[in-house]
Amino acid sequence: MKTDFDIIIIGAGHAGTEAAAAAARMGSKVLLITMDMTKIGQMSCNPAMGGIGKGQLIREIDALGGLSGIVSDLSAIQFKILNRSKGPAMWSPRTQNDRWLFAETWRKKLEEISNVSFWQDTVTRLILEKNKVRGVETNMGIKFYSSAVIITSGTFLNGIIHVGQNQTTGGRIGEKSSTGISEQLETVGIKKGRMKTGTPPRIDGRTIDFSSLEKQPGDEKPEKFSFWPETKPVENQLDCYLTYTNPKVHTILQEGFEQSPMFTGKIKGMGPRYCPSIEDKIVRFSEKKEHQLFLEPEGRNTVEYYLNGFSSSLPLEVQLKALKHIPGLENAKIFRPGYAIEYDFFFPTQLYPTLESKYIDNLFFAGQVNGTTGYEEAAAQGLMAGINAHLKIHEKEGLVLKRHEAYIGVLIDDLVYKGTEEPYRMFTSRAEFRITLRHNNADARLSPIGYQIGLLEKNKYQFFLKKKEKIERVIGFVSETSIDPEAINPFLEKVGTTPINQKLKIKTLLSRPQISIVDLINFLPEIYTKIQRITENDNSVLEAAEVEIKYAGYLDREKMLAEKIQKLENLKLPPTLNYHALQALSTEARQKLSALKPTTLGEASRISGVSPSDISILMVHLGR
């Protein structure tokens, strides 16, 4: 049996699968070790990918050459672009997925990569020589050797599952936890903490009264995650459904608080602030009489529904009693209760921006072990750890994406410089360059990088170059083409904007917020024909061109700011600077800056609680 590899990956969740696929496709011999081969790419919680900020991460993974976007498309049962009513910086794609097809597709994709080998077992310790990792030892006593190791163990390190006062060890319900690695890493000085996450009960769809629920369909014309032509938009979408809690439900849940591990002190780990349990929501938002709950189908060939918004660790009987008073769930049966899980994580400030440990050479960490929550954050880290592990053992410079280049850059920069004491979740608000970092231009930002490092295939890169050329041609066409008043004024009056009295370039008209390029060309048959010839009926080209035109001023401003921040990274902050006197700074920023006294603007920007707007205020104060 082969026991020597280039890279060993511990764990086959969202981080582990991306890490394995990236490193192997770049040329490394990879061993993926998982406790259960049937759980590769398992969706442990909600059956969905993407969302606010998270959808951008999936698009960026796809643009670099990762597989999460492709797997999401191939297993999608619904697609939505969230925040369409807001500006393009806020648009975020999201899929509902068939849970079983998602995992099956991930396994198939990995099995198609000849450089990936598999082993079903539990890793109990790392093989270390001085300050360098040399491999792993498993529960079966087998030693595997490698040049690098990536830990992507999710919630399995010393995992404890809580349902009321009942505690069991496990990394997921019905699956055992993993021990040994945390204890070993502590002995070499790596600091760990405890975090908590949770999941809601799963409902038997045959017992749901859908007639009393609000239907939540997918987009009428669904798009897809992947930029590449190997996937197609989802067909025959399944609906989700909306219902609400009420004061009666809240009262029942509150009666169970004395048996809640959250309130009795049994749970020590910090839970996710932005995805709280239902009991946490009732306490934190006590003034609210109802909370939204979404019923999401788990797949096409099952009656199982995920009750999004009802994550709980309350006793089973309390969960059941409360469910009976939720509209549509009066007769509901459940497949399994909601539960909380506590697990070990390692403070990410102990990592380099490549996700390599500062303590042990060639040891990389990715996913929830770095203090994040969510499939998308895990997949993004896994991709970067796989890329950087491959580059490191081949003596090449690591890939570190900057904050102005990608949400992935924001994610990792936040983790390794600011750290986190609660499960970190990506939001668009975390990025100071979010107009630049749109979901629909991730290929323009990152595909050249993916191709350069050897991850993105040549045919996909050529597809990207062709799309880029089309966008440039559309922008060129509307910049050069003028329209007569008599031809366009009926349209302008129809959309409620001022008519023109002389010829104007199409580009000038498109700067008006009331006018979309699609509506305009549909009104002008001759223009429609010419533009469709350029785009080859690809609406994503039109959308990309329109955003570049409409937001050109904002994009130029962000580009200038990014260049400024790069130049000012090492700008010195006076040690005597009185932050409390700068009232424009947030209260938290004034407190943190006064206490930590950063020496440079770069250091200040990496302090947790100091926002991008705070940094801008400091720049203005310094006269820059």
Cβ-in-10-Å burial (0-12, 13-18, 19+) of 415 comes to buried
Other CB atoms within 10 Å distance of the CB of residue 230: 10
pLDDT digits (tens, 9 = 90+) for 107-162: 999 999 999 999 999 999 999 998 999 999 999 999 999 999 999 999 999 999 98
pLDDT digits (tens, 9 = 90+) for 12-40: 999 999 999 999 999 999 999 999 999 99
Reported as a pLDDT band with limits 50, 70 and 90, residue 272 is low
* Phi and psi, residue 418, nearest 5°: -90, -30
Other CB atoms within 10 Å distance of the CB of residue 221: 8
Task: Assess if residue 373 is contained within a domain.
Answer: no
Q: Which residues contact 567 (CB under 8 A, 6 or more apart)?
A: none
pLDDT digits (tens, 9 = 90+) for 563-599: 877 777 778 888 889 999 999 998 888 988 887 788 7
pLDDT value at position 619? 85
pLDDT value at position 274? 63
pLDDT value at position 478? 93
Residue 521 shares a structural domain with residue 576: no
Report whether pLDDT(539) > 90.
no
pLDDT value at position 157? 94
Task: Assess if residue 450 is contained within a domain.
Answer: no
pLDDT digits (tens, 9 = 90+) for 157-174: 999 998 888 888 988 888
Task: Assess if residue 14 is contained within a domain.
Answer: no
Domain termination residue (choose one: 502, 524, 554): 554
Single-letter amino acid code for the residue at 581: A
Residue 548 shares a structural domain with residue 579: no
In angstroms, the CA 66 to CA 571 distance is 36
Report whether pLDDT(413) > 70.
yes
Domain termination residue (choose one: 554, 582, 599): 554
211-225: average pLDDT:
96
Residue 542 shares a structural domain with residue 577: no
Task: Assess if residue 603 is contained within a domain.
Answer: yes
In angstroms, the CA 516 to CA 84 distance is 14
Residue 211 shares a structural domain with residue 274: yes
Task: Assess if residue 287 is contained within a domain.
Answer: yes
DSSP calls for 545-613:
HHHHHHTHHHHHHHHHHHHHHHHTTTPBPPTT--GGG-TTS-HHHHHHHHHH--SBHHHHHTSTT--HH
Look at residues 159, 99, 63 and name the one whose alpha carbon lies nearest to residue 446.
Answer: 63
Here the CATH number for the domain that contains residue 306 is: 2.40.30.260
Mean pLDDT taken over the chain: 93
Residue 541 shares a structural domain with residue 582: no
Other CB atoms within 10 Å distance of the CB of residue 118: 16
Residue 514 shares a structural domain with residue 584: no
Report the chain's C-alpha Rg in angstroms. Answer: 26
Least confident of 229-238, 489-498, 550-559: 550-559
Residue 498 shares a structural domain with residue 597: no
Q: What domain count does the chain have? A: 3
Look at residues 386, 453, 398 and name the one whose alpha carbon lies nearest to residue 149.
Answer: 386
- Please give, one letter per residue, the 3-state secondary structure of 496-539: CCCCCCCCEEHHHHHCCCCCCHHHHHHHCHHHHHHHHHHHCCCH
In which domain, by residue range, is 591 found? 571-621
pLDDT value at position 417? 83
Reported as a pLDDT band with limits 50, 70 and 90, residue 262 is confident
Give percent of the chain above pLDDT 70.
98
Greater confidence (558 vs 445) lies with: 445
Here the CATH number for the domain that contains residue 611 is: 1.10.150.570
Residue 489 shares a structural domain with residue 606: no
Taking CA atoms, 328 is separated from 143, 207, 319, 378, in Å, by 53, 9, 15, 34
Residue 524 shares a structural domain with residue 606: no
Task: Assess if residue 350 is contained within a domain.
Answer: no
The answer to pTM > 0.85 is yes
Domain termination residue (choose one: 299, 317, 338): 338
The neighbouring-strand residues paired with 194 are 344
Task: Assess if residue 263 is contained within a domain.
Answer: yes
Residue 248 shares a structural domain with residue 329: yes
Token digits of residue 272:
């996710």
Q: Which residues contact 283 (CB under 8 A, 6 or more apart)?
A: none
Here the CATH number for the domain that contains residue 491 is: 1.10.10.1800
Q: Would you give the distance in Å from CA 229 to the centre of its chain?
A: 22
Residue 222 shares a structural domain with residue 310: yes
Residue 504 shares a structural domain with residue 600: no
Q: Please check whether residue 355 is in contact with residue 33, taking contact to mean a CB–CB distance below 8 angstroms.
A: no
Taking CA atoms, 215 is separated from 96, 240, 242, 295, in Å, by 14, 6, 6, 10
Token digits of residue 309:
């918004």
Report whether pLDDT(624) > 60.
no
| Distance in angstroms between the alpha carbons of the first and the last residue of the chain | 62
Give percent of the chain above pLDDT 90.
75
445-463: average pLDDT:
98
Least confident of 252-256, 475-479, 605-609: 605-609
In angstroms, the CA 71 to CA 352 distance is 29
* Phi and psi, residue 242, nearest 5°: -115, 135
